[in-house]
Chains A and B, each alone.
Chain A
């Protein structure tokens, strides 16, 4: 999966959880929870959705790495390429 495809996966998952927001306007380093008004249940649902969509497992300890859009994409890139390597 390319970086752009992964970004779309994340944006799609975000839009499903918080459809009132426009994640495309997010700054690269902005905290998703602050910018999109996500609470910790939303965060959990987001990560669960990404795990299902990409068929990976994301341990709790890694959650902080997915708190910005760029961070999430970079993390998923590493994980997905490791899984397919």
Chain B
């Protein structure tokens, strides 16, 4: 199952790794020490992420260093020093203050990767507002839902995104008091303000107020199998874990040129695309453009990237492009590559070694964990295909849930599986600094994530005899596509809003680039005819509301959907059927599914099918 491990050669390290002796670090590391090593706000006024990431650099030599080197779509390069970032973020915090935005209020960002995004993110944290960056490829419906659930009071966005994606839902968002447009160019659209003008009028100095480490900082939305997206609430203390893990798992050093390719709309792009690198004082690259093979190699070379944190989907695209794309390139600045989002296949790890002379270091974490929890490290053997070992300070276990969740009287617990190579659920001992503190407005869901002091990740894994963890799948129906989680009900809800659709079931099907892609099965009203035009209309309907990142890539009509006796759609059965069938053989699928279920009140055979 596991090929040979890749052993790092000490002589080949260009800089000494932050973590050289894994076992010793595990034994000696204490979160309290990591916390004490941070500057903290002056006069013991607490711990604030923006202070650690920006303001604390302003008094020393680092003030003049480039914090953000921004590459625009049209190949402009804009350098923002730590000092400039300090001033701009202070201006933004003052703008919030003038607007009457209070600490604790929700500030949402809906932007491409432009400098204003980074300024607004850190300025909001200075002001102790609760920050939610949204993915700009979301459609109006996911945007509305998240703004509503997160009580968004302020939205920072562009004219284009506002007009396309916010205007259609603005009337449904009474709590959204201020929309700040970053690129007005003339008169701001009705009901919005010109952020550039506001920033110019604001003072460039802002004293961060007292920030208890437990003060809410970021609210990141994630998807579960059922219901609405869940807002995982993080606190300022998370910075302790961001810094620690960036040093250990990304081997970040202060002089690095660092490129995290993730969008801040996802947790990786915030924890490791804004907070951690700036807190360590590195120069971080931000590329406005979307993935492009030649562009990416060009950036790695020309910018002299030393540490690169990317995702399996992008790595597989690069692999597809072949070695020709690399001809004549000098990528010798690179010294560490890491990947996150979904398990990195062994071939990709080895491709990194063969192509760059560096294995790609996979790591694992979730929106809820706030920071990397399990990783392959620079100075530790890499087992291709494994997510690695727990970061020092993190205790991981493979567990099995005990007790019947349906029975309110039952005692719910976990059984820890100590034997190697046994499949179970990956659990983490609760209490690390970047652990989420609640699901906003859904405390009962939060409580269900913990048992006997363990956080239950919902990911199935095994641990080998050497302690390495191997991802096996999700324990629920959440879909992992291009490194992002998509909740099936969110998609199903939009599909069934279409006039022709009675019911919908959404699953992830394997895809060689994205890992999984979203596929939908829809049940039409009897009078509706399944035509290519209807399917196309439905596809457009879904994309318009959900955006390309969430909408199904494929929609097929089913005659019925398999269900449990209680009426829950058996997505797993659909998926098993899907994987066992030839692609595109819908007639078989339809009749197959039809044979085994009978609409809303299926027979007992349905339960047997669920394996």
Interface residues of A (CB under 8 A from B): 15-16, 18-21, 33, 37-45, 59-61, 63-64
Q: Mark B548-582, 1 if CB is under 8 A from A, else 0.
A: 11000100000000000000000000000000000
Residues in A whose Cβ lies below 8 Å from that of B540: 18-21
Residue of A nearest to B314 (CB): A40
**B193 lies within 8 A of chain A by Cβ:** no
- Most B CB within 10 A of own CB, among A33, A38, A63: A63
For the residues of A in contact with B, the DSSP-based class is helix
Q: Give the number of residues in B that approach A within 8 Å (Cβ atoms).
A: 29
Question: Which residues of chain A have C-beta atoms less than 8 A from B290's C-beta?
Answer: 33, 39-40, 43
Residue B25 at the A interface, CB < 8 A? no
Write out the residue numbers on chain A whose beta carbons fall within 8 Å of the beta carbon of B320. 60
Which residues from chain B contact A59 at a C-beta distance below 8 Å?
Answer: 321, 324
14 chain-A/chain-B pairs, Cβ below 8 angstroms: A18-B543, A20-B540, A20-B541, A20-B544, A37-B164, A39-B290, A39-B549, A41-B553, A59-B321, A60-B294, A61-B324, A61-B325, A63-B292, A63-B293
Asked whether A19 and B543 contact (CB < 8 A) given A41-B514, A42-B548, the answer is yes
* Contact call B321/A41, Cβ cutoff below 8 A: no
CB of B513 within 8 A of CB of A41, answer yes
Which residues of B are found within 8 Å of A45, using beta-carbon distances?
A: 553
The proximity string for B residues 253-283 relative to A, scoring 1 for CB distances below 8 Å and 0 otherwise, is 0000000000000000000000000000000
User: In the assembled complex, which residues on chain A have CB atoms less than 8 Å from the CB atom of B295?
Assistant: 64
> In the complex, are the beta carbons of B292 and A64 less than 8 A apart?
yes
Would you list the 6 A-B pairs with minimal beta carbon distance, nearest first? A20-B540, A19-B540, A60-B321, A20-B544, A19-B536, A39-B548
Question: CA separation between A15 and B325, bound complex, in Å?
Answer: 30
Which chain A residues border B291 with CB–CB below 8 Å? 40
Chain A residues, Cβ within 8 Å of B553: 41, 45
Q: Which of A19, A59, A64 has the most CB of B within 10 A?
A: A19
Q: Which residues of B contact A19 (CB under 8 A)?
A: 536-537, 539-540, 543
Q: How far is the CA of A38 from the CA of B551 in the complex (A)?
A: 12
What's the nearest-Cβ distance from chain B to residue A72, in Å?
15
User: How many Cβ-Cβ contacts under 8 Å join chain A to chain B?
Assistant: 60
Q: Is B137 an interface residue (CB 8 A)?
A: yes
A37 / chain B contacts, CB cutoff of 8 Å: 137, 164, 543, 547-548
Q: Considering only CB atoms, which chain B residue lies closest to A44 in the complex? A: B513
The CA-CA distance from A63 to B291 in the complex, in Å, is 11
Proximity string of chain B (431-454) to chain A, C-beta cutoff 8 Å, 1 when within and 0 when not? 000000000000000000000000
Task: List B508-538 residues whose CB lies under 8 Å from chain A.
Answer: 513-514, 517, 536-537
CB distance from B336 to the nearest CB of A (A): 24
Contacts of A20 in B (CB 8 A): 539-541, 543-544
Q: Could you say which residues of chain B place their CB within 8 Å of the CB of A16?
A: 536
Q: Is B317 an interface residue when CB atoms closer than 8 A count as contact?
A: yes
Nearest to B544 among chain A residues (CB) is A20
* Docked complex Cα distance between A37 and B164 (Å): 10
B394 an interface residue at 8 Å Cβ cutoff? no
B358 at the interface (CB under 8 A from A): no
Q: A19-B543, A20-B543 are in contact. Are A64 and B537 (CB under 8 A)?
A: no
A60 CA / B548 CA spacing, docked (Å): 21
The answer to whether the Cβ of B58 comes within 8 Å of any Cβ in the partner chain is no
Chain A minimum-CB-distance residue to B517: A41
Q: Is there an interface contact between A18 and B548, defined as CB atoms closer than 8 Å?
A: yes
* A66–chain B nearest beta-carbon distance, Å: 11
CA distance A42 to B137 in the complex (A): 12
A78 to nearest B CB, angstroms?
18
B380 within 8 Å of A by Cβ? no
Using CB atoms, name the residue of chain A closest to B538.
A19
Q: How far is the CA of A18 from the CA of B539 in the complex (A)?
A: 8
User: How many whole Å from A69's CB to the nearest CB in chain B?
Assistant: 18
In Å, the complex CA distance between A41 and B317 comes to 10
What's the minimum C-beta distance from A14 to chain B, rounded to whole angstroms? 12
| A45-B512 Cα distance, complex, nearest whole Å | 12
A residues near B137, Cβ cutoff 8 Å: 37, 39
Known: A38-B548, A40-B290, A61-B321. 15 other contacts (CB 8 A): A19-B537, A19-B539, A19-B543, A33-B290, A37-B137, A37-B164, A37-B543, A37-B548, A42-B548, A43-B290, A45-B553, A60-B317, A64-B292, A64-B294, A64-B295
Residues of the B chain whose Cβ atoms lie less than 8 Å from the Cβ of A43: 290
Q: For the complex, give the distance between the alpha carbons of A61 and B317 in Å.
A: 11
Q: Is the CB of A60 within 8 A of B293?
A: yes
Interface string of B272-312 (1 = CB under 8 A from A): 00000000000000000011111100000000000000000
B536 touching A15 by the CB < 8 A rule? yes
State in angstroms the CA–CA spacing of A37 and B544 once bound together: 9
B482 contacts chain A at the CB level, 8 A cutoff: yes
Residues of B within 8 A of A63 (CB): 292-293
Name A62's closest neighbour in chain B (CB-CB): B294
| B96 CB to nearest chain A CB (Å) | 29
Residues of A within 8 Å of B547, CB to CB, are: 37
Residues of A within 8 A of B293 (CB): 60-61, 63
Question: From A60, which residue of chain B is reached at the shortest CB distance?
Answer: B321
Q: Which residues of B contact A64 (CB under 8 A)?
A: 292, 294-295
CA distance A57 to B175 in the complex (A): 51
Residues in A with CB closer than 8 Å to B537 are 19
CA distance A37 to B137 in the complex (A): 7
Q: Which residues of A contact B541 (CB under 8 A)?
A: 20
On chain B, the residues within 8 Å of A39 by CB distance are 137, 290, 548-549
CA distance A79 to B8 in the complex (A): 45
Q: Which residue among B137, B164, B537 has the maximum number of chain A CB atoms within 10 Å of its CB?
A: B137
Cα–Cα distance between A60 and B292 once the two chains are bound (Å):
8
Which single residue of chain A is at the shortest CB-CB distance from B535?
A19
Q: Closest CB-CB distance, A64 to chain B, in whole Å?
A: 6
- In chain B, what residue has the closest Cβ to A41? B514
Most buried by A among B294, B539, B543: B543
Measured in the bound complex, the distance between the Cα atoms of B553 and A16 in whole Å is: 10
Q: What CA separation (Å) do A38 and B539 show in the bound complex?
A: 13
User: CB-nearest residue of chain B relative to A18?
Assistant: B543
Q: How far does the Cβ of B162 sit from chain A's closest Cβ, in whole Å?
A: 14
Alpha-carbon distance between A60 and B482 when the two chains are bound, in angstroms: 18
CA separation between A39 and B325, bound complex, in Å? 22
Chain A residue nearest to B294 (CB atoms) is: A61
A20 to B317, CA, bound (A): 27
Give, as a whole number of angstroms, the nearest-CB distance from A38 to chain B: 6
B355 CB to closest chain A CB (Å) equals 15
